[in-house]
């Protein structure tokens, strides 16, 4: 009986923990390391891989170009 309770509790804890992993607002952090050109290449790569959205790409690209 205790094994079933422990297993059920473990599943509940894991489920609750994983449900908090997504959603919410996302911010894009601009790293100041590397050249401006390298930052733009890395940003484009993130867009192409689906790591960031088109709007995040445009917003961050603008920040990089403004310096």
Residue 25 has pLDDT above 90, yes or no: no
What is the pLDDT averaged over residues 48-67?
95
How far apart (Å, rounded) are the C-alpha atoms in residues 13 and 2?
16
10 found inside a domain: no
53 found inside a domain: yes
Tell me the whole-structure pTM to 2 decimals: 0.52
Task: Spell out the residues 6+ positions from residue 59 whose beta carbon is closer than 8 angstroms to its own.
Answer: 28
pLDDT at 67: 84
50 found inside a domain: yes
DSSP state of 53: -
Tell me the H-state helices in the chain: 2-19, 36-48, 54-66
41 found inside a domain: yes
What is the pLDDT averaged over residues 25-54?
85
56 found inside a domain: yes
């Amino acid at each position: 009986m205790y094994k079933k309770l422990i297993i059920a509790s473990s599943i509940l804890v894991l489920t609750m923990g994983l449900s908090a992993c997504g959603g919410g607002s996302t911010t894009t952090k601009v790293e100041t390391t590397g050249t401006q050109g390298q930052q733009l290449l890395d940003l484009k790569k993130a867009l192409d891989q689906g790591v960031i959205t088109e709007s995040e790409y445009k917003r961050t690209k603008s920040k990089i170009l403004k310096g």
